């Protein structure tokens, strides 16, 4: 009987951490090779992780809601036979220096790349740190030490609190951790690191922040609580603790929401945005929607106004192909796209995502309907893959479903334009010389003025409206 460890894998997205959303197994459960044991959320999407071997769950190393770095052990499993892999928590402190070269060798094979940043070979090396007993670390950080496995470590005398960082040495921490410490007003040099190689982790910073506001007697009681087997890992304890009398609540921004915020800031201050509006009569399109719903050739397909709006956008792109482009900053070139990956902005519980329909320009109306339905269902389930959100060219965002008339949308990074569709409402409208109640909507088109000038943007928006005002143009202009 051996203990094997499963580490947080690099899911191939160029990311270095993920949040554990849900565990599907508990200690004592039997698992088989390929069985999904948990769901994690990276900065791009939710991903299910399968275990790569058979056995019985020995321990879950992190609780739900905890953000874990790639390469950290998240679950240990008892297996029959095979090469033995001792859990990190059971290794004796004296053996740590000897095991250090092996621990450094593993990350060298994986070259995580953050967006816009490469990783040098030297970045995987860590300066050696003097190991500190878990109890002393917990005492200084103000929390109980995490218990990685039920088996207790060999008894060791409780040492006095060790210095957080050697004098004159810059603390080791990732940029997000440094920013977190800055935001919380924590001096990294005063934080005891618990990460591999003496790296300060998010949990260390949160623990130090909690200790700084806790009563002075609390640290003294921490060592006594450390041996308790039910002690949870230092997780997001200070994350969203709301009291009845609280006047403010702080919500950590992470995962999809964090990346969306960064992308929108980058887009807003990189691409010169221009937004144009058009209000028009879509009564004929709404009638066509009802006729298509009753068409036996389209039975079983989801037919709605968004489907015809998407088709109108594709027709307008065919008439104005120069709008389907991107800006190459490095080469200072405009890249014309001869394909359309049509993005559909989707609001999900984890934040706004923009998956796209690959090669939408080549799809029939029925195929486009199937793709839209699949895209929306996948997004609502939180199963949208990173590949589904890459290489978009133009996006549609339907704010009308919220009863909103229009807006000034921000471009999805790397795309040339985004169309906001407002609510379709019955309004008084001049039709054939008389005021009549008609179905009216407003479209707002934001575009990158480096790629699309005012004339091209106006013609493109006018063509979309013309198709939806007289939907027979779906045929005559195709």
Catalytic residues: 449
CA–CA separation, 289 and 34 (whole Å): 44
Per-residue DSSP letters for 305-346? HHHHHHHHHHHHHHH-GGGSEEEETTTTEEEE-SS--EEE-E
Non-local (6+) Cβ contacts of 161 within 8 A are 136, 139, 140, 192
- 257: Cα within 13 Å, side-chain hemisphere: 10
Contact predicate 345/398, CB 8 Å: yes
Alpha helical stretches, state H, 96-133: 96-109
Per-residue DSSP letters for 404-452? -----PPPPTT-SEEEEE---EEEEEEETTEEEEEEEEEEEEEEETTT-
In this structure, what token pair is assigned to residue 191?
Answer: 């934080």
CA–CA separation, 65 and 19 (whole Å): 6
Contact predicate 429/281, CB 8 Å: yes
**What are the backbone angles phi and psi of residue 188, rounded to the nearest 5°?**
-60, -30
**DSSP bridge partners of 268:** none
Measure Cα distances from 455 to 244, 340, 421, 459 in Å.
56, 21, 21, 6
Q: What residue has token string 């004296």?
A: 94
Measure Cα distances from 127 to 164, 203, 225, 237, 293 in Å.
14, 20, 31, 29, 66
Q: What residue has token string 């618990």?
A: 194
CA–CA separation, 456 and 320 (whole Å): 7
CA–CA separation, 323 and 458 (whole Å): 11
Non-local (6+) Cβ contacts of 146 within 8 A are 61, 134, 231, 232, 233, 234
CA–CA separation, 114 and 111 (whole Å): 10
Dihedral of alpha carbons 70, 72, 76, 77, sign: positive
Contact predicate 314/464, CB 8 Å: no
Q: What residue has token string 């569709």?
A: 421
């Amino acid at each position: 009987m051996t203990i094997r460890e499963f580490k947080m894998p690099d899911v191939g997205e160029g990311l270095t951490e993920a949040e554990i959303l849900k565990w599907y197994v508990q200690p004592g459960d039997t698992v088989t090779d390929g069985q999904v044991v948990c769901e994690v959320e990276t900065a791009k999407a939710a991903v299910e992780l399968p275990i790569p071997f058979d056995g019985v769950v020995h321990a879950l190393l992190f609780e739900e809601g905890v953000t874990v770095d790639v390469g950290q052990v998240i679950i240990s499993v008892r297996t029959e036979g095979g090469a033995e892999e001792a859990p990190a928590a059971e290794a004796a402190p004296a053996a740590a220096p000897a095991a250090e070269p092996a621990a450094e060798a593993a990350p060298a094979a994986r070259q995580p790349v953050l967006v816009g940043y490469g990783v040098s070979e030297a970045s995987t090396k860590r300066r050696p740190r003097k190991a500190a007993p878990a109890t002393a670390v917990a005492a200084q950080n103000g929390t109980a030490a995490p218990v990685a496995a039920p088996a207790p470590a060999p008894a060791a005398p409780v040492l006095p609190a060790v210095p957080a960082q050697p004098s004159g040495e810059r603390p080791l921490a990732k940029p997000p951790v440094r920013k977190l410490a800055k935001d919380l007003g924590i001096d990294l040099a005063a934080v005891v690191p618990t990460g591999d190689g003496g790296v300060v982790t998010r949990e260390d910073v949160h623990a130090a922040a909690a200790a700084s506001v806790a009563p002075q007697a609390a640290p003294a009681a921490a060592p006594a609580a450390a041996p308790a087997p039910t002690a949870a890992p230092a997780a997001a304890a200070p994350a969203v603790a709301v009291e009845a009398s609280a006047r403010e609540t702080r919500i950590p921004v992470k995962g999809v929401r964090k990346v969306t915020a960064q992308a929108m800031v980058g887009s807003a201050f990189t691409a010169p945005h221009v937004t144009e509006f058009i209000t028009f009569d879509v009564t004929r399109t709404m009638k066509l929607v009802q006729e298509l719903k009753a068409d036996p050739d389209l039975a079983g397909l989801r037919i709605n106004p968004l489907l015809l709006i998407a088709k109108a956008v594709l027709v307008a792109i065919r008439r104005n192909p120069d709008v389907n482009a991107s800006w190459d900053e490095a080469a200072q070139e405009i890249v014309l796209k001869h394909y359309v990956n049509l993005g559909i902005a989707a609001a999900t519980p984890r934040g706004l995502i923009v998956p796209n329909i690959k090669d939408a320009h080549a799809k029939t109306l029925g195929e486009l309907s199937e793709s839209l339905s699949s895209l929306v269902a996948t997004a609502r389930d939180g199963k949208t893959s990173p590949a589904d959100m890459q290489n978009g060219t133009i996006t549609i965002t339907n704010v009308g479903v919220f009863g909103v008339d229009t807006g000034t949308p921000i471009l999805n990074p790397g795309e040339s334009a985004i169309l906001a569709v407002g609510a379709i409402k019955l309004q008084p409208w001049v039709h054939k010389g008389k005021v009549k109640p008609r179905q009216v909507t407003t479209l707002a088109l934001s575009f990158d003025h480096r790629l699309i000038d005012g004339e091209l943007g106006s013609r493109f928006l006018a063509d979309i409206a013309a198709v939806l005002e007289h939907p027979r143009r779906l045929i005559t202009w195709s």
